[in-house]
Amino acid sequence: MQQSNILSVSPHDLNDSGQVEVETETAPKLTRWVPSRFNIRAKADNGQMVLWNTLTRAMSAFDPSDAPRVREMLARKGFEAKEEGFTAYMAKRGYLVKEGADELRRFEAMFGRQHYRTNTLHLILLASEDCNFRCHYCYEKFARGTMRPEVRKAVKKMVTDRLDRLDSLLVSWFGGEPLYGYPAVKDLAPFFKEAADEHDLRFVGNMTTNGYLLTPEKAEACLSWGITQYQITLDGPPESHNCSRPARDGSETFETIYNNLKSMAKRKDDFNVRIRVNFDRNNYSKMDPFLDLIQKGMGDDPRFHLAFHGVGKWGGDNDEKLDVCGTRGERALIKADLKKEAKKRGLNILTIKNFNQFGRQACYAARPYSFLIGATGKIMKCTIALDTADHNVVGHFDKEGNMVLDPDKMALWTEPAFQRDSQCQKCAVLPACQGVHCPLIRIEENRQPCITTRFNPKGELLEAFNLNSDSRQVSVV
């Protein structure tokens, strides 16, 4: 009996002679390429072309002699070429895409994977809602003290119940002043670190503190509990800072904070401190002595960075008395000047390179996995609105310590707002902010909360290149 091979070989795999088809390598086909809609490019002072793709986060610098060819490749009309050599490099970095590619749809898929993940939990804890400072521009009411023991117990239960589903646990200590509620930190922080270690979770601990109570002893404890990222504010030289950030009894605070920072600089631990500097029309011209002090105390220590921010009218009792830099342009010019002066002294400056991650400038309040827990157990989203706005109180803990959320309020904060905003959908920096840089602005003012990069993308790109000129250097061959 003749044996058939039909069961071992598909007829589709046979050629006209009845033999098994052998695959042969074919030459690369021509592809029509067009520039990405998420490209931003600028010309540096040295003539180099600097290119940034906000979706892939790629940044490259091209020699002036190569710039004409790069510009030709990025012409809107597109071109045909095989996916090899320099064309392949440009495509891999995302600067070129195949004609017909739907990059907005690519963005939406990436957004969905990030925004709706269930393996991450971010807690922002108000260890105390009171504060030992009375900063002139502060918007908080200082209505409550240290987080209650029953609330801390509920927070522990909340984390314990989710541990088996988590890959990442992020804990942010906030206030008031979190170290004013040190008993809550001392109770919860070791628990978080131990739970993360036992379940092999990625753990990030950070704290926004005025730094006054961050003594060497408390710094030692906090670092041992995995709190390794800090934001600490110094508003310029002592005379400026002590005026805008006095203690609640009116006493001066600069020297204590500065000494605590110097003590941290002497440590060998791996940590990061962002020194936030709030400027207005009164103090920005007095920054040189302050920058000299930072240079003397921290030098070029890579663990310390400076971040300059214009003072705003943030809802505090003194808003009408504040001499703020009123326009976006005025603030941008002052900030650029302060960064240059700091860089002259070898200080580390935050630029868009430090935020060049997908969704890095989207607000925590927009994320479904992020919760702000108040001292009395109120579950909120935004650290600015707090419980002064009913729509910000999205839930509470029941008697058994379970979290009870209002689905409508949660949806209000976490909706993908770009999907109903045609201007967001056209914006080249959408991957950075995802249309939710500040949901509070959309909710309360019904307008777009655009990041500064949108208004000056080339300027910010060049700033990052000039201040940190380590963008990938590319030679066209």
Buried b (16+ CB within 10 A) or exposed e, 235-260: bbbbebbbebbbbeeeeebbebbbeb
Instruction: List the structure tokens of 400.
Output: 């058994």
Q: What is the pLDDT of residues 358-412, one digit of tens each?
A: 999 999 999 999 999 999 999 999 999 999 999 999 999 999 999 999 999 999 9
Per the rule left: phi > 0, alpha: psi between -120 and 50, beta: everything else, 225 is alpha
> Rounded CA gap, 407 and 447, in Å?
23
DSSP state letters, 206-242: EEE--STT--HHHHHHHHHTTEEEEEEE--SSHHHHH
Q: Please answer whether residues 257 and 269 qualify as being in contact, where contact means their C-beta atoms are separated by less than 8 angstroms.
A: no
pLDDT reported for residue 171: 98
Structural domains present in the chain: 1-101 (no CATH), 111-365 (3.20.20.70)
Mean pLDDT of the residues in the chain: 93
Q: Please answer whether residues 412 and 381 qualify as being in contact, where contact means their C-beta atoms are separated by less than 8 angstroms.
A: no
Helix (H, G, I), strand (E, B) or coil at 110: helix
DSSP symbol at 118: S
Q: What is the pLDDT of residues 287-344, one digit of tens each?
A: 999 999 999 999 899 999 999 999 988 888 888 888 888 788 888 889 989 999 999 9
Write the CB contacts of 283 (distance below 8 Å, at least 6 apart in sequence): 235, 236, 237, 240, 244
pLDDT reported for residue 477: 42
Q: pTM for this one? A: 0.91
> Rounded CA gap, 39 and 53, in Å?
5
* pLDDT tops 80 at residue 5: no
Give me the phi and psi of 375, to 5 degrees please: -65, -25
Task: Please compute the mean of the pLDDT values over residues 198-203 and round it to a whole number.
Answer: 98
Write the CB contacts of 260 (distance below 8 Å, at least 6 apart in sequence): 211, 212, 214, 215, 216, 219
Task: Please compute the mean of the pLDDT values over residues 28-56 and round it to a whole number.
Answer: 94
223-226: long-range contacts (C-beta < 8 A, 24 or more apart)? 223/267, 223/269, 223/271, 225/185, 225/189, 225/190, 225/192, 225/193, 226/189, 226/192, 226/193, 226/196
Distance of CA 462 to the CA centre of its chain: 20
Q: What is the pLDDT of residues 215-259, one digit of tens each?
A: 999 999 999 999 999 999 999 999 999 999 999 999 999 999 999
Q: Is the peptide bond before 226 cis (omega within 30 degrees of 0)?
A: no
* pLDDT tops 80 at residue 35: yes
* pLDDT tops 60 at residue 471: no
Write the CB contacts of 451 (distance below 8 Å, at least 6 apart in sequence): 361, 429, 432, 433, 437
> Rounded CA gap, 20 and 13, in Å?
6
* pLDDT tops 70 at residue 27: no
Count, in order, helices (H) and strands (E) of the chain.
Answer: 16, 17
Q: Please answer whether residues 352 and 464 qualify as being in contact, where contact means their C-beta atoms are separated by less than 8 angstroms.
A: yes
What confidence tier does 277 reach under pLDDT thresholds 50, 70, 90?
Answer: very high
* pLDDT tops 80 at residue 10: no
DSSP strands (E only) in 64-179 = 79-82, 96-98, 120-126, 168-174
Which among 229, 128, 105 is positioned nearest to 182, based on CA atoms? 128
Task: Please compute the mean of the pLDDT values over residues 162-174 and round it to a whole number.
Answer: 97
Instruction: List the structure tokens of 278.
Output: 């709030």
Q: Please answer whether residues 396 and 379 qualify as being in contact, where contact means their C-beta atoms are separated by less than 8 angstroms.
A: yes
